[in-house]
Structure 1
Amino acid sequence: MRCPLPIIELARRIGDVAVGEVVTVLADDPAAASDVPAWCRMRGHEYAGTGEDVGGAPSYLVRRRH
């Protein structure tokens, strides 16, 4: 997905997991490398780093904090 779609989808899905669990965001847009951590800071969730590439797309890990 190209930004801002990964951030929009993350915002929709973060409530689907329990507090403390991790959501994996797949995004082939280089802007996601800064957009995902920024979204976490603004929304009070933890950016847990990068995950393994999936189908050639980088993944970003977000831990739900509230």
Structure 2
Amino acid sequence: MTLATDAVFDLKGLKCPLPVLRSRKKLSAMLSGEDLVVETTDPLAVIDIPHMCREDGHILLETIKTEDGHRFYIRRG
């Protein structure tokens, strides 16, 4: 799946809860309908990022396992 994105947010090397906190802050500054790619190496992000999306009304378009972590495609709700 190839998705157009408005921003790529590199959060590699950060541990829980920083990827969620920083993603939430970044998304709050975006317009509804804009897309954000979040890249992480924290193994807990695969649980935390989808949970944040559900709580905050964002759409998790796709999660991809990468060589060193995960890439999340999120549409701002």
Matched residue of 1:25: which SS?
strand
Matched residue of 1:19: which SS?
coil
Structure that is richer in strand per residue: 2
Superposed counterparts of 1:51-66, under 5 Å: 51=64, 53=66, 56-65=68-77
**What's the TM-score once normalised by structure 1's chain length?**
0.79
**What's the TM-score once normalised by structure 2's chain length?**
0.70
Structure that is richer in helix per residue: 1
Alignment length (residue pairs): 64
Provide the aligned C-alpha RMSD in A.
Answer: 1.8
Is there any run of 5+ residues in structure 2 with no aligned partner, and where? 1-13
Is there any run of 5+ residues in structure 1 with no aligned partner, and where? none
Shift of 1:51: 4.6
Identity of aligned residues (%): 30
